[in-house]
């Protein structure tokens, strides 16, 4: 058990490419922290630097207060779970889990006991004598976890440990990983590209982009107060809607109509030196079918009428998709998010919008619907640098 | 048909549903092939036929013919005395000290060269696998010996070890004619073999190294393994199938050693290998009976080596499903 401190850590490859730039993270003892971001954002490199599998170019890494930059992985006393599980195919489950203990020259009875205990926690007791090739994906994943927990290391590092599992099992394993971490109370650094995993698992989430940390915070805080367009667009599913707007005399003019600035938004904007042209961000759940909103609430927001392109019923609620005429919001961050989601080259003129409305809504696909949204929940971004102008730090 | 297949002990008043199920199942189980299946099988046989015919002509027939020759007294110098003698030739060969000397020389060269090649080949494979700078140059230069015709290479070794002109004879052997003595010549021949075929071993092992996922080695490093432990406890076991295939290939190959010996010593001073001895009897001595007996014995020895590798060590036959197991 130990805290892990990354102090201005930078990774530069011999060809000059910078993979990670000035990363500053303080991970408390026992904390479960998630590194999340699109592929190539440097999250895995950061993890590998903590593990010792990659050299640190500049900055300092401290585990339990000691500088470990120069230490070999085996001398850092941390365990790692790989995306591919990296189980030794020639060893049984038991031998796989015992391997780190055997290397550490632990005596036989202790090895036996620790492996039994770990197998019990992970429900692997009846599989101990099988080879990894005879196990299912979920079982292999648990063996990989078992190999990490048997030697009670200072910290666990997990590199997308669930992404090779199918969707249903992933959700199950997500809860068991979370439970296991709480039970053991071991500092854990977990890398994923899946924002749902990041939101559900971590005590804190580190959002990375292009080798730099964008924001660190508790999942709910990131969701409610994204520091910039990138975090706003990355966290949340379906993603936040972005509509270009211009600020004129205390009113936001946009394709959704004129949005009055509420007191909250106005006070946040005051110190922010907002430009005239901004990007307005709206979470899907801040929309509602106008007919289901009573009049007192209705006056706090804006109602617009648009044709529903696609209506998806999720049972508990409905997702309504619209396309508005007018320019799409553009910025470097949004382009990168679209590229990561693979939607960069999907044709679609105008602004597309998704609203999460009540399941009782009577909106019909292909017909116009009246949609209301809460003007107080609007977030405003600077298209130039992506900064959140309404950020409550 | 279904009646005929039903066990006779079955009571007549058996559960009717079960009987119905039986009569439905049994014709299927007894593979009354459908027309489509039959046609497929026929097509399969037809497609295999050319290969089978060629194999029978170039491998099957010579084997059978040499077994037949080995059972006869058949010397082209005395063609009138040809007669069937049963296993007499085998007794002659197996009780002959020349044969056993050749066998001993062959086994010695095989074991030493393959063992040294395995170690060197593994080192080369690791270098080729890990090199980041100048990968092409490293690989190409490693493979040069394998690209040279064996006889040409053997001649250059012979000249190198010839006193008066050869640089190796002057520098290493101090002017001694090493190729005129038994043990030194065997060492030179073994060295030539190693120099020549280590690249081949390295290539096969490098393919095996590619089977070891990087994550596995990283995981071992995290688990606390030193570089040597990663090599012995993870890398070697995981690439064992590739190592065994490489050893099998090289052992079979080395056991048939001929060309290096032919050029370097021509079998003088008791340095003949079994192949050399067979050649001398069969082609030079024109003794078809004894020569064929020796080739059959070599064939049996090679078959035993292959059997030991495949059955006892579990080597996957080349092309079989074994390299990709996880």
| Cβ contact, residue pair B326, A80, below 8 Å | no
pLDDT for the residue numbered A331: 81
Q: Which residues of chain A have a CB within 8 Å of the CB of B321?
A: none
pLDDT for the residue numbered B128: 87
Cβ–Cβ contact B284 with A under 8 A: no
Q: Mean pLDDT score of chain A, rounded to an integer? A: 90
Which residue of A lies nearest to B229 if distances are taken between CA atoms? A103
Q: Which residues of chain A have a CB within 8 Å of the CB of B241?
A: none
Q: Which residues of chain B have a CB within 8 Å of the CB of A72?
A: 221
Please compute the mean of the pLDDT values over residues B211-236 and round it to a whole number.
92
A177-225 pLDDT tens trace:
999 999 999 999 999 999 999 999 999 999 999 999 999 999 999 999 9
Confidence of residue A380 (pLDDT cuts 50, 70, 90): very high
Cβ–Cβ contact B225 with A under 8 A: yes
pLDDT for the residue numbered A70: 93
| Cβ contact, residue pair B223, A99, below 8 Å | yes
pLDDT for the residue numbered A60: 94
A217-260 pLDDT tens trace:
999 999 999 999 999 999 988 889 999 999 988 889 988 889 98
Three-state SS letters, chain A: CCCEEEEEEEEECCCCCEEEEEEEEEECCCCEEEEECCCCCCHHHHHHHHHCCCCCCEEEEEECCEECCCCCHHHCCEEEECCCCCCCCCCCHHHHHHHHHHHCCCCHHHHHHHHHHHHHHCCCHHHCCCCHHHCCHHHHHHHHHHHHHCCCCCEEEEECCCCCCCHHHHHHHHHHHHHHHHHHCCEEEEEECCHHHHHHHCCEEEEEECCEEEEEECHHHHHHCCCEHHHHHHCCCCCCEEEEEEEECCEEEECCEEEECCHHHHHHHHCCCCCCEEEEEECHHHEEEHHHCCHHHHCCEEEEEEECCEEEECCCEEEEEEEECCCCCCCHHHHHHHHHHCCCCCCCCCEEEEEEEECCCCCCCCCEEEEEEEHHHCEEECCCCCEECCCCC
pLDDT for the residue numbered A81: 94
Cβ–Cβ contact A88 with B under 8 A: yes
Please compute the mean of the pLDDT values over residues B219-237 and round it to a whole number.
93
Contact by Cβ (8 Å): A15, A44: no
DSSP state of B270: G
Question: Whole-model pTM?
Answer: 0.79
| Cβ contact, residue pair B240, A90, below 8 Å | yes
Chain B interface disruption, residue of A99, A149, A155, most B CBs within 10 A: A99
In the predicted model, is pLDDT for residue B75 greater than 70?
Answer: yes
Contact by Cβ (8 Å): A324, A280: no
Q: Are strands A155-159 and A187-192 parallel, antiparallel or unpaired?
A: parallel
In whole angstroms, what is the distance from residue A304 CA to residue B172 CA?
A: 96
pLDDT for the residue numbered A346: 57
Q: Which residues of chain B have a CB within 8 Å of the CB of A90?
A: 237-238, 240
Asked which of A22-26, B9-13, B107-111, B266-270 is least confident by mean pLDDT, the reply is B9-13
Cβ–Cβ contact A109 with B under 8 A: no
Closest CA to B276 of B111, B102, B97, B153: B102
B306-325 pLDDT tens trace:
999 888 777 665 544 443 33
Partner residue opposite B234 with nearest CB, options A53, A74, A88: A88
In whole angstroms, what is the distance from residue A283 CA to residue B26 CA?
A: 65
Q: Which residues of chain A have a CB within 8 Å of the CB of B229?
A: 103
Chain A interface disruption, residue of B219, B226, B241, B324, most A CBs within 10 A: B219
| Cβ contact, residue pair B222, A103, below 8 Å | no
Chain A interface disruption, residue of B213, B222, B241, most A CBs within 10 A: B222
| Cβ contact, residue pair A88, B216, below 8 Å | yes
Confidence of residue B10 (pLDDT cuts 50, 70, 90): very low
Cβ–Cβ contact B218 with A under 8 A: yes
Q: Which residues of chain B have a CB within 8 Å of the CB of A133?
A: 325-326
pLDDT for the residue numbered B20: 43
């Amino acid at each position: 058990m130990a805290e892990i401190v990354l102090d201005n850590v930078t990774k530069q490859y011999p060809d000059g490419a910078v993979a990670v730039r000035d990363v500053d993270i303080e991970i408390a003892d026992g904390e479960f922290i998630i590194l999340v971001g699109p592929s190539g954002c440097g999250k895995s490199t950061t993890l590998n630097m903590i593990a010792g599998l990659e050299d640190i170019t500049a900055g300092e890494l401290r585990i339990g207060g000691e500088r470990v930059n120069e230490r070999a992985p085996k001398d850092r006393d941390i365990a790692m779970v790989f995306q591919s599980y990296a189980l030794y195919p020639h060893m049984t489950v038991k031998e796989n889990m015992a391997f780190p203990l055997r290397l550490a020259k632990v005596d036989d009875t202790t090895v036996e006991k620790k492996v039994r205990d770990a197998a019990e926690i992970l429900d692997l007791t009846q599989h101990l004598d099988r080879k990894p090739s005879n196990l299912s994906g979920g079982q292999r994943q648990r063996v990989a976890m078992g190999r990490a927990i048997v030697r009670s290391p200072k910290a666990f590092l997990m590199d997308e440990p669930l992404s090779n599992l199918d969707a249903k099992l992933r959700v199950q394993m997500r809860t068991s990983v979370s439970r296991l971490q709480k039970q053991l109370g071991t500092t854990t650094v977990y890398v994923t590209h899946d924002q749902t995993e990041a939101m559900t698992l971590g005590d804190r989430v580190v959002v990375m982009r292009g080798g730099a940390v964008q924001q660190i915070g508790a999942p709910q805080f990131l969701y409610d107060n994204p520091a910039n367009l990138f975090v706003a667009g990355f966290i949340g599913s379906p993603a936040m809607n972005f509509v270009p707007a211009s600020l004129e005399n205390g009113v936001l003019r946009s394709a959704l109509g004129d949005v009055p600035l509420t007191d909250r938004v106005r006070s946040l904007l005051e110190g922010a030196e907002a430009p005239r042209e901004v990007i307005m961000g709206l979470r899907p759940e801040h929309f509602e079918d106008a007919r289901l909103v009573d009049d007192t609430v209705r006056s706090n927001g804006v109602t617009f009428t648009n044709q529903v392109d696609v209506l998806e019923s999720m049972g508990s609620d409905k997702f309504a998709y619209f396309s508005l005429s007018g320019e799409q919001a553009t910025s470097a961050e949004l382009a990168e998010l679209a590229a990561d989601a693979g939607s960069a080259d999907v044709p679609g003129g105008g602004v597309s919008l998704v609203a999460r409305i009540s399941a009782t809504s009577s909106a019909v696909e292909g017909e116009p619907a009246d949609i209301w949204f809460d003007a107080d929940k609007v977030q405003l971004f600077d298209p130039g640098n992506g900064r959140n102008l309404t950020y409550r730090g | 048909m279904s009646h005929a297949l039903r066990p006779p002990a079955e009571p007549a008043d058996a559960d009717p549903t079960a009987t119905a199920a039986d009569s439905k199942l049994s014709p299927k189980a007894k593979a009354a092939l459908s027309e489509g299946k039959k046609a497929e099988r026929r097509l399969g046989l037809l497609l295999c036929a050319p290969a089978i015919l060629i194999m029978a002509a170039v491998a099957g027939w010579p084997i059978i013919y040499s077994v037949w020759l080995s059972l006869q007294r058949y010397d082209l110098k005395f063609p009138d005395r040809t007669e069937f003698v049963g296993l007499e030739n085998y007794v002659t060969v197996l009780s002959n000290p020349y044969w056993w000397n050749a066998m001993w020389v062959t086994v010695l060269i095989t074991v030493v060269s393959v063992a040294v090649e395995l170690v060197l080949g593994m080192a080369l494979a690791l270098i080729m696998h890990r090199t980041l700078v100048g990968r092409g140059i490293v690989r190409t230069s490693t493979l040069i010996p394998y690209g040279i015709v064996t006889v040409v290479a053997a001649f250059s070794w012979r000249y190198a070890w010839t006193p008066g002109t050869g640089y190796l004879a002057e520098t290493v052997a101090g002017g001694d004619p090493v190729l005129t003595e038994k043990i030194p010549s065997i060492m030179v021949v073994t060295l030539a073999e190693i120099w020549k075929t280590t690249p081949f071993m390295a290539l096969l092992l490098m393919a095996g190294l590619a089977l070891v996922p990087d994550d596995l080695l990283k995981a071992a490093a995290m688990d606390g393994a030193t570089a040597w432990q990663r090599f012995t406890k993870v890398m070697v076991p995981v690439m064992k199938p590739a190592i065994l295939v490489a050893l099998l290939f090289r052992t079979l190959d080395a056991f048939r050693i001929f060309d290096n010996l032919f050029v370097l010593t021509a079998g003088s001073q008791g340095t003949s290998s079994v192949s050399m001895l067979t050649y001398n009897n069969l082609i030079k001595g024109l003794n078809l009976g004894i020569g064929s007996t020796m080739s059959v014995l070599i064939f049996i020895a090679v078959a035993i080596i292959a059997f030991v590798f495949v059955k006892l060590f579990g080597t996957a036959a080349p092309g079989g499903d074994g390299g990709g197991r996880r």
